[in-house]
Amino acid sequence: MKVLITGGAGFIGSHLAERLLENEHEVYIIDNLWTGKLANIAGIQNHERLHLVVDTILNESVMNELIFRVDHIYHLAAAVGVMNIMDHPVETLDINVKGTEVVLRLANKFKKKVFIASTSEIYGKHVEHDLSEDDNRVMGTVKKRRWAYACSKTLDEFLALAYFDEKKLPVVIGRLFNTVGPKQTGQYGMVLPNFVRCALLGKPIIVYGDGNQSRSFTHVYDVVDAITKLMDEPAAEGDIFNVGNSHEVTINELAEKVKEMTESNSEIEHITYEKAYGPGFEDMQRRCPCIEKINNLIGFAPRYDLDAIIKSVIDYFKE
């Protein structure tokens, strides 16, 4: 099978490309290298079944040719990282909304199946329970820039489902919850690689806010397993699935665990969100998925617990 990965030189995209090549597929990658890196695909860049295009998904002539060639599309290209989103609001909305529109319109032209990578940010400020796919969204004010990302990905989901309902385009939507693992950097505010890097260097481990906000973390290998199985399952078409780990941890607990596992002498320090991101930022207190739906359909259950996830990140930084 021929597969296109948008954002294929990114953290998740590069792992997905490796898996698809291992499974004997022919892989096409398009990436503008804004947050993706050639280093992420260095191990496969010369593979005979890999084709790399350095360009933006907004280039319709290039996308038209790529989508015509392939059978499946994994649409991962997006603005990522809280810091990046806060610093580049126009580019965030541009790539997340216009880029997805280009992908879906051209996929529909040639009737190619599409996986849309969405996000747990969709749920907004929910705190009551583990988040399930049919929950209402609780968004903050439009004056808080943080919510632009969540709203742009919401529009992506609406658009994908509209193409499925009206045009019968086969689409699958996965809401990813804090994917982490080797090759992820803390450059754009990703919490776990930032904690590990600082701990290994003996620098202060910086926690934003009071640290009582909780998250769940999923190893990138588990995410790749889930999204490839979803794409192979016809019953997943036209539906939305949480892709995550239901184990919840506070950011304070995460910082302590990283410090312990790295045997670091780093101090844990707290700073305000405003100092970290500037004005216009608002965080959510909880973000933990219910994964019953994806488990029932494809038997998905994360193989990596939190200790194994942290160890894999530590090992990567040590290398």
pLDDT tens for residues 82-108?
A: 666 667 778 878 888 899 999 999 999
- Residue 137 class from Cβ within 10 Å (0-12 exposed, 13-18 middle, 19+ buried)? middle
Q: What is the pLDDT of residue 283?
A: 77
**pLDDT over 90 (residue 75):** yes
Find the mean pLDDT for residues 148-164.
93
Beta-carbon contacts of 162 under 8 Å, excluding residues fewer than 6 positions away, are: none
CA distance 26 to 47: 10
Q: What is the pLDDT of residue 132?
A: 92
74 annotated active-site: no
Find the mean pLDDT for residues 4-18.
97
The amino acid at residue 137 is R
Q: What is the pLDDT of residue 188?
A: 59
Residue corresponding to tokens 């603005």:
79
The mean pLDDT value of the chain amounts to: 92
**pLDDT over 80 (residue 10):** yes
User: Which H/E stretch holds residue 116?
Assistant: strand 113-119
User: Which H/E stretch holds residue 259?
Assistant: helix 251-262
Q: What is the pLDDT of residue 277?
A: 74
Domains and CATH numbers, the chain: 2-179+218-245+288-302 (3.40.50.720)
The count of other CB atoms within 10 Å of the CB of residue 120 is: 25
Q: What is the pLDDT of residue 284?
A: 80
Check 28, 74, 123, 149 and give the catalytic one.
Answer: 149
Q: What is the pLDDT of residue 7?
A: 97
| pLDDT tens-place string over residues 12-71 | 999 999 999 999 999 999 999 988 999 999 999 999 999 999 999 999 999 999 999 999
Alpha-carbon distances of 181 from 200, 227, 304, rounded to whole Å:
16, 16, 10
| pLDDT tens-place string over residues 255-306 | 999 999 999 999 999 998 778 777 766 778 888 999 999 999 999 999 999 9
